[in-house]
Amino acid sequence: MDSQRGLNLPALIDFYDRMIPESKGHATAINAVMGEEFASALFVDYANRNNLNPSIVSEICTQGTQKGKRLDRWIQIIENGKIIHFQTEIKNWSAHAFSGKRIPSNETEEYLVPYRIARWKIQFDSEGDSIRQEPAKKVLIKMKAVDPEAEIRPLIIFWDAMHPEGKPEPLFNVKVKDSPFDSLWVFSMSNYVRNLISQGIYEVKAEMPSVIDRLNWLNILYKNIEQ
């Protein structure tokens, strides 16, 4: 029987939210190996479960100039027959990051509501319509379209559990200013993973070819040797 690789959802929570002792010192390296792919894989899983027919269009998302800003990828969905392209920026900032905060293992929804609001306020100003963190602001710059017929929307994927009202919903949009876009879509991986776990779903299939290539190279470079 062919095996299918996937994401271990409780382990993601332990690593990125709870920062269990064994995870310390490894976040940067883990993100370098799988960060962008596992983030987009979770978004694709969400879109599939909501019948949005997602696909990764391209990992090249630029302004069409050599020195301009660039984002992480284009993700396509089909919503009510309309083709939508998300120009996507991924930020895996978590409990391991500067200004990160560890979530205790016995957290409740009562705990998470103010936590989500607090994490939102770290990323967005008091009005909620401007991004605070400079590395994330570029998502609001319009990139060069890969399909002129598609509607372009900005999407930022955060690991952190966040929401301006403390809600557990994974995907939502907010009004923004000082941008060619009226709205920004935000996807919280932690919210989504927690929602799946609450439904008794502990693993999701994930297509991550670059991660497979990197793991194969690690096995080649660091291998068992005969004594």
Instruction: Give the pLDDT score at 1.
Output: 41
Instruction: Give the pLDDT score at 201.
Output: 98
DSSP codes joined into one string, 1-61: -----EEEHHHHIIIIIS--GGGTT-HHHHHHHHHHHHHHHHHHHHHHHTT---EEEES-E
How far apart, in Å, are the Cα atoms of 147 and each of 58, 90, 108, 136, 143?
Answer: 11, 21, 44, 24, 11
Helix (H) or strand (E) holding 212: helix 209-221
pLDDT, tens only, 127-153: 766 898 888 999 999 999 999 999 999
State which residues of the chain have pLDDT below 50: 1-2
Q: What is the per-residue burial (b if ≥16 Cβ within 10 Å, else e) of 13-50?
A: bebbbbbeeebeeebeeebeebbbbbbbbbbbbbbeee
